[in-house]
């Protein structure tokens, strides 16, 4: 039984990474795993639950990986830079999970909100700023760089819509997103020069 469950998780990770949440097919997952559709729903309840479980496991591995970050300074900005570098190192060494995790930005607000409720601690880190600030030219292929940029735009769009619904003053939103777009512009310049 554990073997069946592992096979489903392995094939689901591949399917979701390749197709995204909306287009992923449970028929393809069970076919490649060599199990019945009933087994998938018996273990995981639904496609959504399977996706959220995989996303939570990936997020746990990511945060666990960041625990290995070495801090050589008490200065907050330098500690944050070290954490950022740790995040990119983790992404580089776990590309299968990285490709899966970026599908969250296109998974729909319902899925995103459910995930954030489960993994509330993760939202305390500004991942957009962290990723932009720590990117090293040449660390990823052009295709992966394109995926990162798409993810950043989608993540910013989701974040902006969440902030608007909380009625943050317009001046504050403008200042915040001007800074983010300036960072993104620098990020793109570095990416182009490194490829």
Is this prediction's pTM over 0.75? no
Cβ atoms of 15 and 28 closer than 8 Å: yes
How far apart are alpha carbons 78 and 72 in whole angstroms?
Answer: 8
Checking if the pLDDT of 102 tops 90, the result is no
Average of per-residue pLDDT across 29-54: 93
How far apart are alpha carbons 27 and 40 in whole angstroms?
Answer: 10
Q: How many CB atoms are closer than 10 A to CB 54?
A: 20
Instruction: Indicate the length of the chain as a whole number.
Output: 195
pLDDT tens for each residue of 43-81: 999 999 999 999 989 988 888 887 777 777 666 567 767
Question: Which is higher by pLDDT, 143 or 159?
Answer: 143
Calculate the average pLDDT of the chain. Answer: 79
pLDDT tens for each residue of 113-144: 788 777 655 555 566 776 776 677 766 777 77
Q: pLDDT class for 149, splitting at 50, 70, 90?
A: confident
**What angle do the packed helices 109-118 and 142-165 form, to 10 degrees?**
80
Start-to-end CA span in the chain (Å): 46
Average of per-residue pLDDT across 95-124: 77
């Amino acid at each position: 039984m554990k073997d069946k469950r592992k096979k489903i998780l392995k094939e689901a990770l591949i399917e979701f990474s390749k197709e995204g949440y909306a287009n992923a097919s449970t028929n393809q997952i069970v076919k490649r795993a060599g199990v019945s559709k009933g087994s998938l729903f018996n273990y995981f309840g639904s496609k959504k639950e399977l996706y959220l479980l995989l996303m939570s496991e990936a997020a746990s591995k990511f945060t666990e990986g960041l625990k290995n970050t070495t801090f050589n300074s008490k200065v907050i900005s330098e500690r944050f830079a070290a954490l950022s570098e740790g995040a990119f190192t983790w992404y580089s060494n776990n590309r299968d999970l990285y490709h899966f995790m970026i599908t969250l930005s296109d998974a729909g607000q319902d899925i995103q909100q459910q995930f954030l409720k489960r993994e509330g601690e993760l939202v305390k880190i500004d991942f957009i700023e962290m990723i932009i600030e720590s990117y090293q030219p040449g660390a990823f292929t052009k295709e992966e760089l394109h995926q990162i940029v798409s993810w950043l735009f989608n993540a910013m769009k989701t974040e902006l819509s969440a902030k608007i619904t909380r009625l943050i003053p317009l001046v504050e939103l403008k200042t915040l997103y001007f800074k983010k777009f300036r960072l993104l512009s620098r990020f793109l310049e570095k990416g182009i020069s490194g490829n």
